[in-house]
Amino acid sequence: MSAGGGSGRVGQLLREVTPGRYDAYETLLRALTEDRVLMLLWQGEAGSPDAQYGNIEVGGLGYAPCVTSPQELSACGWTRGHENVGGVEIAQTLFPDRWGLWLDPHAPGGGVGIPWADLRRVATGLERSPAGPLRIVEPAVDVPQFWALLTQNAHRTPAVRSLRRAWVQPALGAPYLAIGLDLYDTGPQSVEAVRVMMQQSVTAVPEGLPVSTVAMSDEYDPVALWMRAQARPFFDRDAYGGGAQQATAPGYGYPPPQTFPGAAQPGRW
C-alpha cells in the first residue's frame, strides 16, 4: 500500500498548539481543510468493506487517530493498514457520529485532538461557525426594546414556534447575542418570513451589539444544543411564554478546558 499522504504542514503546525493558543489551533484547522492525513485502520485495508478506524477516548469523547505525513507514519510504528484521506472528507465522515480526530498521538506531548464540534466547522466552513470552545451563558445585556419588538414580530410570524437566547463568547472573536429559532417547518416561505421578522426586529438593537441566529433543529450546533438543554423560551407560541433560566455550561462537543486542545494524553490505540 502506498504511504503517500499529507504535505506535513498540519504536523508542523500542531507543534505550535498549546493550551490557550487558540490562534495557533485555528491556523491548524485552516491547514486541515487544505491537507490530507493518514487514518490508522484497526482492521481491514483502505477501501475494503471491513475497514475500521482505530479509536481513542479522552475526556469522555471519542477520537479516530491519524498521522499527518508518511514520515510520522514511519515514526509511529503502525503495522496495520492506513487510509489516505483529505481533511475535509474525514471531517465530513466523523463529525455526524460525534467522533473527533486525533493528530499524531505518538508525538511528544500526545499530539492534538480535534473535537467533533470543530470537525463540523472544518466540514462546513470555518467562517460559518464561531471558534470553539465556546462559553455560553444566559444573556445579561439590557435591550428591552429589542426583546419587545422581537416578541411582537414573532407573534405575527406563524412559522415561529418558540425563541430562545444566549450570550456566546467564542475562543476567538467578539462575543455576540444568539437567537435560537424553533420553527414549525423550514420550507422556503417560512424561512423567508423569519428572515423578514429578524430584519425588522434588529432595528431595535443598539449599535455595536452583534446578533446572530441559530436553528434549533440543528442537532450539531453547540449553541443550539446549549439552548435546548439550558434555556427556556422567552417566546413560546404553544405555552404562551416562560421565564428565562439562568445557567452556565461548557460548550457542547468540547472536552473540559484543561484537556483542550492538545493537553490530554491519548488513550490506547
The string of pLDDT tens digits covering residues 70-105 is 999 999 999 999 999 999 999 999 999 999 999 999
- pLDDT at position 264 is 35
Distance CA 165, CA 177 (A): 7
Q: Is the pLDDT assigned to residue 249 strictly greater than 90?
A: no
Which pLDDT band, with edges at 50, 70 and 90, does 243 fall under? very low
Same domain? 158 vs 208: yes
The string of pLDDT tens digits covering residues 61-78 is 999 999 999 999 999 999
Tell me, yes or no, whether 159 lies in a domain.
yes
Same domain? 83 vs 28: yes
Same domain? 168 vs 183: yes
Same domain? 119 vs 227: no
Give the residue from 47, 97, 31, 91 showing the smallest Cα distance to 66. Answer: 91
- 115, 130, 145 - which closes a domain: 130
User: Domain limits at 198?
Assistant: 135-250
For the record, the C-alpha cell of 223 comes out as 449553541
Q: What is the CATH number of the domain that holds 192?
A: 3.30.300
- pLDDT at position 91 is 98
- 108, 130, 152 - which closes a domain: 130
Q: What is the bridge-based pairing of β-strands 160-169 and 176-183?
A: antiparallel
Question: What's the rounded mean pLDDT across residues 118-141?
Answer: 93
For the record, the C-alpha cell of 139 comes out as 444573556
Same domain? 29 vs 111: yes
Distance CA 154, CA 162 (A): 8
- pLDDT at position 6 is 61
Per DSSP, the three-state class of 167 is: strand
Burial (0-12, 13-18, 19+ Cβ within 10 Å), 37: buried
